[in-house]
Amino acid sequence: MAERTARVAGSLRRRVYLALTGGLSGAGRLTATNKVIILLIVASIGFAIFESEEVVRGPNSWIFQVAETGFALAFAAEYLARLWTCAEEPRYRGFRGRLRFMLTPAALIDLLALAPLVFVAIGSEAFVLRVLQLVRILRLARIGRYSNAANAIRQAVRLRRYELAASLLAGLSLMLVAAAGLYVIEGTDQPDKFGSIPRAMWWSISSLTVGYGDVYPITVMGRIFASLVAVIGVALIAVPTGIITTAFAEVLSKAEAQASARPIARV
């Protein structure tokens, strides 16, 4: 009787494990359980976003409290299920194995999802931690068809990691030189904005990336210098994009070549 009970429990644990990890659907696709979890994550993030707006939260605070508790209970059930079923992997068996699983980044993020359940009674704004669950969606997406694309991007970055590191170093050097130049040219005229190299770094970073214009030079020399930096920066910042694009195309080409050669190898 005890053996039968243990066998049934083991079979149930295996089925729950496969449902959580994508094994039941075959070919590593998302299961119905995965899709429900993703919907819960998206819904909880949506509630967290609207809860940060006082106009919406004020008259509907009880709705958000009930929703927070419901989401946290659902994620608590998922966390316990993952903790129970992780023993299906040999490395997570036993007490030490489960402790090792609890310390993995994915499990720690799952645990953070339970923070609203702990702090909801004292009105804490721990609900913002649910935004971290976007990472959990990426974790579940690895199970599905997007895993191949993610692997291709990872391989492309790894393939060109030295070139990317060199371009990053060049970009940081340009930012530092630009900040130092504007400190020398504009420091006296705008001490609050360019009075030191760290202050001028904000202009340097924003100008070479997003182009945010809350800080800008006002002297003729400053504007000439800033124009040269902007032209060089456009060309330099575009380098990593070209590197990644080329490497990504190379990885996809190799994958297609291997896929087309596979049937020939079987013959």
Token pair recorded at residue 129: 């931690």
- Count CB atoms within 10 A of the CB of residue 142: 12
Residue with tokens 């980044």: 105
pTM attached to this predicted model: 0.55
Alpha carbon distance 66, 72 (integer Å): 10
Residue in the block written with tokens 């990317």: 164
- Stretch(es) of the chain classified as CATH 1.10.287.70: 157-266
pLDDT tens for the 267 residues of the chain, in order: 555 555 555 688 888 888 887 655 445 567 788 888 888 888 887 887 787 777 887 788 788 888 878 887 888 888 899 888 888 888 888 888 888 988 887 788 777 767 666 655 444 455 555 555 565 665 555 555 555 666 777 788 888 888 888 888 888 888 888 888 888 888 888 888 888 888 888 888 877 776 666 777 888 888 898 888 888 887 777 788 888 888 878 877 777 777 676 554 444
Q: Does domain 157-266 have CATH number 3.40.718.10?
A: no
- Yes or no: is domain 2-144 CATH 1.20.120? yes
User: Would you state the pLDDT for residue 161?
Assistant: 83
CA-based radius of gyration for the chain: 26
Distance CA 267, CA 252 (A): 24
Name the helix (H) or strand (E) containing 228. Answer: helix 220-266
CB 18, CB 128: distance < 8 Å: no
Q: Where in the chain is the domain with CATH 1.20.120?
A: 2-144
- Tell me, what's the pLDDT at 256? 72
The predicted pLDDT at position 201 comes to 84
Phi, psi of 190, rounded to the nearest 5 degrees: -135, 70
C-alpha span between 80 and 99 (Å, rounded): 13
